[in-house]
Chains A and B, each alone.
Chain A
Amino acid sequence: MEADSTGTTMAEKADAEMAENPFEPYIESFRQQLEDQDPVFLIGVIVALAVVVITCVFLKYFLTSKTVQSAVLLVGLCDSGKTLLFSRLLSGKFKRTQTSITDSSAPYKAKNDKGSIWTLIDLPGHDSLRHQYLEKFKSAARAIVFVVDSAIFQKEVRDVAEFLYVLLTDAVISRNSPALLVACNKQDITMAKSAKLIQQQLEKELNTLRVTRSAALSSQDGSVGGSLYLGKKGKDFEFSQLPIKVEFLECSVRGTKGEEGEADIESLEKSLAKL
C-alpha cells in the first residue's frame, strides 16, 4: 500500500513537473531572444506598448465621460406638451407641434451661475414608442421632467400613474437616482388641477398600483418586470418615501397670452438650474 501511495505521489510530482516543463523552454528561449536584441529596439517596443496602454486608458475615460449623465429627459403621456416645452426652453418661441414619432435632442444652457450645459432630450409620449425610447436614454438621464396635462388629469390619472410607476421601478433609474420633476402643465386652462392635488391623487393611485403590478402575470420567458416595491410596506405610499427626489411644480408652456406671449416656466427653469 505504501509503495502504491509513494508511486502515486511520484506520478503527481512528475505530472507537476511536466506541467511546468512546457512553459520553461518557451520562457528560456524568450529570455535569450530578449538578451540578443538591441537595447534600443527593446526600448522602442516598450515605449510603443506604453503608448498603446495610455491611449486605451484615455479612450475609456473619454468614452465613459460621454455617457456620464448629462441628459435631461422630457417624458410624459401623449399631448401633454413636451415638444412645446422643449421649444420654449431652448428658444423661447412658440411652435405648433404634432405627435412626435422620434426623439429630439439639443444642448441646453441652464440659467445658473455655473452655466452648465445639459442635453435636453424630448421623447415621444405615444404608448407604443415610449418604452423603447426610454430604454435608449434612461442610462444617460441626470434628471427626468415628467410633464402632466393638468386639465384632463382626472381622466388620465391611471395612465399617468402607470407610466410613473414604470419609471420609478425601473432598475437603471433607481440605481442612478436622477432627480424627478413632475411638471403640471397647461395651468393656463381654468380647469387645471394644482400641483398639490395632482400629487395627492398620484400617491393614492400608486398605492393601489404597487399591489396590482406586483401581482401581475410574469412574462412568458419567466421574467417578472419591475419587482421593486415602492415606498414602505404597511404604510400608505408617499413620494417622500422614495430614494429618488421627486418635486412637483406648475407651469404653463403655452403662456397666458397664447402664441405671442411668454411661457410661464419660471419654476421649471429654476429647478433645472438647481441641478
Chain B
Amino acid sequence: MLDFFTIFSKGGIVLWCFQGAGVTESFTGPVNALIRSVILQERSGNNSFTHEALSLKYKLDNEFELIFVVGFQKILTLTYVDKFIDDVQLHFRDRYKNELEQKGALKLLNNSFDFGADFKRLLREAEDSSKIRSPAPMRSFKESEKSQKTVKSMIETKGGDKGKEPSGKKNKNTKKEAPAAEPVKVDQGKASSSGQNMVENGNQGLTADQIMQKKRDNFFRKRMAGPTEKPSKSPKPQKPKEKQMRVWDMGGTSTKNLDYSEANGNGSSNGDEQNQETQIDLGMQPSSMKGDLLSVDYESSEDEEIEEEEDEGVVVSETSKTSSKKGGGFGGMFGMLKGLVGSKSLSQEDMEPVLEKMRDHLIAKNVAAEIASQLCDSVAKKLEGKVMGTFTTVASTVKQALQDSLVQILQPKRRVDILRDVMEAQSQRRPFVITFCGVNGVGKSTNLAKISYWLIENGFTVLIAACDTFRAGAVEQLRTHQRRLNSLHPPEKHGGRPVVQLYEKGYGKDAAGIAMEAIAYARNQAFDVVLVDTAGRMQDNAPLMTALAKLIAVNVPDLVLFVGEALVGNEAVDQLVKFNQALADHSMSDKPRLIDGIVLTKFDTIDDKVGAAISMTYITGQPIVFVGTGQTYNDLRSLNARAVVSALMKA
C-alpha cells in the first residue's frame, strides 16, 4: 500500500529507499517539497504533509541525524503508518548502531544499508496487525440481548435521555394524528437499530393516550411536590437532578431589606443622592480635561507595577518549582550534574520547562501566541533524542536551536532585489508594478512615498496610481507627496520630465479599472515603476476583499506587498491568513497571485518587541522586503535577520 519509504541523512544522502510495486514516479520531488515546506519552515509540529496526490509522514531522528519518510496515496487511510515508522526507526537504529556512530559523513557513503528484508517483515507485521483490528460485524436482532428480555421489564416510569427522545417523537406523531401503530413500529425499529447500549423506552408497551396521561400526571406531581423529588426507577443513565434553589453564602436571610416600596420620602432622598452622584460624575468629566493632559508615564508606570507583580508572581512560582526540585534530595542534584557533564540525550520532559519559558518569552516579545507555540513544538521535534555535548545545559541547547530556527525563518527564501527586477522589466520595456495592500492605518501611503523616493534616487521614473478612491483626502495626500518629490528631484536634472507622476481619477470609481488604466498609461509613457495605492480594508470585510482580489487578479502586478505595522500582535496571523485566502479564492487562474512580500512599518515605535516580524514571515513564508522606521523619506530600511533575532532573544 505504501508508495515509497526513504531513509536519508540530514546532509542529504539517501541511505536506503523502497519503492512500492507499480510506482513509477520518483519520490525525490515530493520529499524535497516536504523538506522545504515543513522542516525548513519550522512547521514540524504536525508530522504529516500532503503533496498533490500523496500523503507523506515523516519522523526525525536527531541522534544520528536521519529522516524517515513514508509516502502513500492520499485517498487511502492507513492506520498503521505512525506506529510503523516508529518501529522501522527503532529497528534501523538498533541494527546499524555501530555504523551510524562513526563520525563524519564517510560512514554514510562507505556502508551500504541492506534493510530490505527487515523492512518487508515489519511492513507485513504492521499490515497484519491493522487487519486484526477491523471493526466487528454487527449482531442481528435475534442475537442481541434485547430479544431475550420481556417488554414489561423494560418499562420505566422515568426513562433516560435517550429514552425520552423517541417518546417525544412519538408524541409529536400522535399530535399530527398519524396512526398510532406506525409510530410504535417505527420506534421499535429505531430503538433496535440504535445499538444495544441505549436505554429502552419504557413507554413502548403503552398506547399514545396512556403516555400522554402519564406525562400529565408527572408534570402535576412535579409542580405540587418540592423540587427535590428524585426519579425512582431509572437505573442506568445519570439523570440530571431537579433544579434546586440556589443558596448564596453571602445572601441575606430575608428579602425585607430589599424592599424599598414603603415611604416615598425614603425613595426621594435616595433619588436626591442619586442625582448628586450623577452630578458628581458629570462634574468629573468637564473639569478633568482642562489644563495639560495627563502624561503617558503615569499610566505606563501603573502598567509596569502590574507587570512587576506578575513577574514576581511568576518568579515566586518558579522558585517554588526549583525549591521543590532541590527538595528531591541528593539524587536530584547528582542527576543535574550528570546531565551537565555526560552525554545525555534530550527527551521531551527535559525540554518542556525550558520551552515553556521560551514560549512565554516570545509571547512577551509580541510574537503571536499560536506561532510561538508552533515554533516551540517544532524546535522540540528537532531536538528530541539529540545527544548534547559536554558542559552544555538543556537550556542553552534549546535556546541555540530556537535562535537558529528564528534566523532561518527570517531569511528570505528567494532573492530579494527590487532594483534588479526593475531593471529587468525596464529591459523588457514594461513597467514594474507594485501593489500595496493592508488594513486601515498601517502606513501604506506613507511607505509608498518613501519607496518612490528610494526608486527616484536610483534613477527610475515612478507613476503613482491612486486606487484609494474611498478615503477622504487620499488622492490629495498622494498629490502632496508627488509635489514634494518633484521639488526634491526637479525635472531639469532628470532629463526634462518629472520623475513622479500621479494617476488619479478622483473618488468613488472602481479601483481595478483605475489600476489597469494607470498601467497602460505607464507603458505608453515608458515609466519604469508603477506604485498602486489601495484603500485600507479589514480582513473580514468580504466585499472589499473581493474587490482587492479582483484588482490583483486582473492587473497581475509584479509584486504584491502586504503592509503591516510592527505593533500588531496576534491580529497579524488573522490578517495575513484572510488576505491570502481572499486572493486565492477570487482568482481565476490555478496559480493565483498571493502576497509576495511584507512591508513592516512603524518599526521605530517598538523597542525590542519585534515579534510581529516573526509572526508575519512564519505565516506567509514570504520575506520582509522593507522596514519603515519613521515618517520622513529617508526612513526606509531593509531587514537584518540577525539583529532582529538577537533583539528577540535578549532577556
Residues of A within 8 A of B (CB): 79, 83, 86-87, 90-91, 93, 95-107, 122, 124, 126-129, 131-132, 158-159, 162, 208-209, 212-213, 215-221, 223
Q: Which residues of B contact A (CB under 8 A)?
A: 6, 8-14, 17, 28, 31-32, 35-36, 39-40, 65, 104-106, 108-110, 404, 407-409, 411-415, 417, 419-420, 423-424, 454, 457-458, 603, 626-627, 629, 636-640, 643
Q: Which residues of A contact B12 (CB under 8 A)?
A: 83, 97-101, 104, 122, 124
Q: Are A87 and B13 in contact (CB under 8 A)?
A: yes
Contact of B35 among A83, A90, A98, A218 (CB under 8 A): A98
* A86/B420 in contact, CB under 8 A: no
Apart from A132-B408, A220-B637, list 4 A-B contacts with CB within 8 A: A99-B32, A104-B13, A128-B411, A217-B638
Bound together, the chains give a CA A164 to CA B43 distance in angstroms of 30
Contact B13 A97, beta carbon cutoff 8 Å: yes
Report the bound CA distance from A93 to B639 in whole Å.
Answer: 42
Interface centre among A86, A87, A91, A98 (most CB of B within 10 A): A98
Partner of B638, one of A98, A129, A131, A219: A219
Nearest-CB residue, chain B, relative to A87: B109
- Contact status A128-B40, CB under 8 Å: yes
Q: Are B65 and A215 closer than 8 Å at their CB atoms?
A: no
Q: Which 8 A-B pairs have the closest CB atoms?
A: A100-B12, A104-B11, A219-B640, A104-B105, A212-B419, A96-B14, A83-B12, A220-B637
Are A95 and B14 closer than 8 Å at their CB atoms? yes
Q: Which residues of B contact A91 (CB under 8 A)?
A: 106, 109-110
**Which chain B residues border A106 with CB–CB below 8 Å?**
104-106, 109
The complex places the Cα of A218 from the Cα of B35 at a distance, in Å, of 32
A105 vs B65: C-alpha distance in the bound complex, in angstroms? 13
The residue that A162 contacts in the complex, of B11, B106, B109, B415, with Cβ under 8 A, is: B415
Which of these, B11, B412, B627, contacts A127 with CB under 8 Å? B412
| Best-buried of B10, B14, B109, B404 by chain A (most CB within 10 Å) | B109
Q: Which residue of A lies closest to B26 (CB)?
A: A96
Say whether B413 contacts A127, CB under 8 Å: yes
Least Cβ–Cβ distance between B65 and chain A, in angstroms: 7
Q: Do most interface residues of chain B lie in helix, strand or loop, or is the interface mixed?
A: mixed
| Complexed CA–CA distance, A138 and B627 (Å) | 29
Query: Of all chain A residues, which has the CB nearest B106?
Result: A106
Give the distance in Å from the alpha carbon of A106 to the alpha carbon of B626 in the complex: 40
Residue on B with the closest CB to A90?
B109
- Which residues of A are found within 8 Å of B11, using beta-carbon distances? 83, 100-104, 122
A216 with B419: CB separation less than 8 A? yes
Q: Please measure, in the bound complex, the distance between the C-alpha atom of A101 and the C-alpha atom of B424, giving whole angstroms.
A: 32
On whether A101 and B643 interact (CB within 8 A), knowing A106-B105, A127-B414, A219-B638, the answer reads: no
Closest A-chain residue to B641, C-beta based? A131
- List B contacts of A107 (CB < 8 A): 104, 106
Q: How far is the CA of A87 from the CA of B109 in the complex (A)?
A: 7
Residues of B within 8 A of A217 (CB): 454, 626, 636-638
Are B407's CB and A132's CB within 8 A? yes
- Residues of chain A with a CB closer than 8 A to B40's CB: 101, 126, 128-129
Residues of A within 8 A of B627 (CB): 220
* 10 chain-A/chain-B pairs, Cβ below 8 angstroms: A83-B12, A91-B106, A96-B13, A104-B108, A106-B105, A128-B409, A128-B413, A158-B415, A158-B417, A162-B420
Shortest A59–chain B CB gap in Å is 18
Is A101 in contact with B35, judged by CB distance below 8 angstroms? yes
**B626: chain A residues within 8 A (beta carbon):** 217
Chain B residue nearest to A119 in the complex (CB): B104
Give chain B residues whose Cβ lies under 8 Å from the Cβ of A158.
415, 417, 420, 424
Q: Write out the residue numbers on chain A whose beta carbons fall within 8 Å of the beta carbon of B407.
A: 132
Q: Looking across the interface, which residue of chain A has its beta carbon closest to that of B35?
A: A99
Q: How far is the CA of A100 from the CA of B40 in the complex (A)?
A: 10
- The answer on a CB contact under 8 Å between A95 and B13 is yes
- Contact A96–B28 (Cβ < 8 Å): yes
Q: Smallest distance from the beta carbon of A259 to chain B beta carbons, Å? A: 12
Q: How far is the CB of B129 from chain A (nearest CB, A)?
A: 30
Report B-chain residues with C-beta under 8 Å of the C-beta of A90.
105-106, 109
Given the interface pairs A99-B12, A216-B638, A217-B636, the reply to whether A208 lies near B420 with Cβ below 8 Å is yes
List residues of chain A with CB within 8 A of the CB of B409: 128
Within the complex, the shortest CB–CB distance from A172 to chain B, in Å, comes to: 15
Check A220–B639 contact: CB distance below 8 A. Answer: yes
Question: Which residues of A are found within 8 Å of B420, using beta-carbon distances?
Answer: 158, 162, 208-209, 212
> Taking CB as reference atom, which chain B residue is nearest A215?
B458
Q: Which B residues touch A105, using CB under 8 A?
A: 104-105
Q: A98-B12, A129-B408, A158-B415 are in contact. Are A212 and B423 (CB under 8 A)?
A: yes
Residues of B contacting A131 in the complex (Cβ-Cβ under 8 angstroms): 411
How far is it, in angstroms, between the C-alpha of A213 and the C-alpha of B407 when the chains are bound?
Answer: 22
B13 engages A219 (CB within 8 Å): no
Docked pose: A96 CA to B9 CA in angstroms: 11
- Kindly report which residue of chain A lies nearest to residue B28, judged by CB atoms: A98
Q: Which residues of A have CB within 8 Å of B414?
A: 127, 159
> Which residues from B are CB-within-8-Å of A223?
640
Expressed in whole angstroms, the Cα–Cα distance for A12 and B208 within the complex equals 121
Closest to B105 in A: A104
A213 and B423 CA atoms in complex are apart in Å by: 13
In contact, B105 and A219 (Cβ under 8 angstroms) = no
The answer to whether A95 and B109 touch (CB under 8 A), given A83-B11, A220-B638, is yes
A162 touches B35 (CB 8 A): no
Q: A91-B109, A215-B458 are in contact. Are A98 and B8 (CB under 8 A)?
A: yes
Residue of B nearest to A220 (CB): B637
Instruction: Give Cα A111 to B42, complex, Å.
Output: 41
Measured between beta carbons, the chain B residues less than 8 angstroms from A162 are: 415, 417, 420
Give the residues in chain B near A127, CB-CB below 8 Å.
411-415
Give the residues in chain B near A83, CB-CB below 8 Å: 11-13
Establish whether residues B419 and A102, one from each chain, have CB atoms under 8 Å apart when the complex forms: no
Residues on A with C-beta less than 8 A from B413 are: 126-128
**Distance of A159 Cα from B417 Cα, bound (Å):** 10
Q: In the assembly, what is the distance between CA of A98 and CA of B39, in Å?
A: 13
B458 touches A221 (CB 8 A): no
Give the docked Cα–Cα distance between A137 and B12 (Å). Answer: 18
**B637 touching A215 by the CB < 8 A rule?**
no
Q: What residues of chain A lie closer than 8 Å to B31, measured between beta carbons?
A: 98
Complex Cα distance, B409 from A122, in Å, reads 22
Provide the residues of chain B in CB contact with A213, threshold 8 Å. 417
Residues of A within 8 A of B14 (CB): 95-98
Assuming the A-B contacts A90-B106, A98-B28, A100-B12, are A218 and B419 also in contact, with contact meaning beta carbons closer than 8 angstroms in the complex? no
Residue of A nearest to B420 (CB): A212
Kindly list chain B residues whose C-beta atoms are within 8 Å of the C-beta of A86: 105
Q: Which residues of B contact A104 (CB under 8 A)?
A: 9, 11-13, 105, 108
Cα separation A196 to B640 with both chains bound (whole Å)? 36
Q: A128 and B629 in contact (CB under 8 A), knowing A96-B14, A216-B638, A221-B640?
A: no
The interface residues of chain B lying within 8 Å CB-to-CB of A87 are 13, 109
In this complex, what residue of A is CB-closest to B627?
A220
A219 touches B639 (CB 8 A): yes
Name the residue of chain B whose CB is nearest to the CB of A221: B643
User: How distant is B644 from chain A, measured CB to nearest CB, in Å?
Assistant: 8
User: In the complex, what's the smallest C-beta–C-beta distance from B301 to chain A, in angstroms?
Assistant: 29
How far in angstroms is the closest Cβ of chain B from A261? 17
Q: Report the Cα distance A105→B108, complex, angstroms.
A: 11
Q: Could you say which residues of chain A place their CB within 8 Å of the CB of B640?
A: 219-221, 223
- In the docked arrangement, what's the CA distance between A98 and B108, Å? 14
Query: In chain B, what residue has the closest Cβ to A159?
Result: B415
Interfacial chain A residues near B636, Cβ < 8 Å: 217
CB nearest to A156 among chain B residues = B415
Selected from A96, A122, A218, the residue in CB contact (under 8 A) with B637 is: A218
In the assembled complex, the CB of A135 is this many whole angstroms from the nearest CB of chain B, namely 9
Q: Which residues of B contact A216 (CB under 8 A)?
A: 417, 419, 638
Give the interface centre of B8, B11, B424, B603 by most chain A CB atoms within 10 Å. Answer: B11
CB distance from B574 to the nearest CB of A (A): 25
Interface centre among B12, B110, B413, B454 (most CB of A within 10 A): B12
Residues of B within 8 A of A98 (CB): 6, 8, 12, 14, 28, 31-32, 35
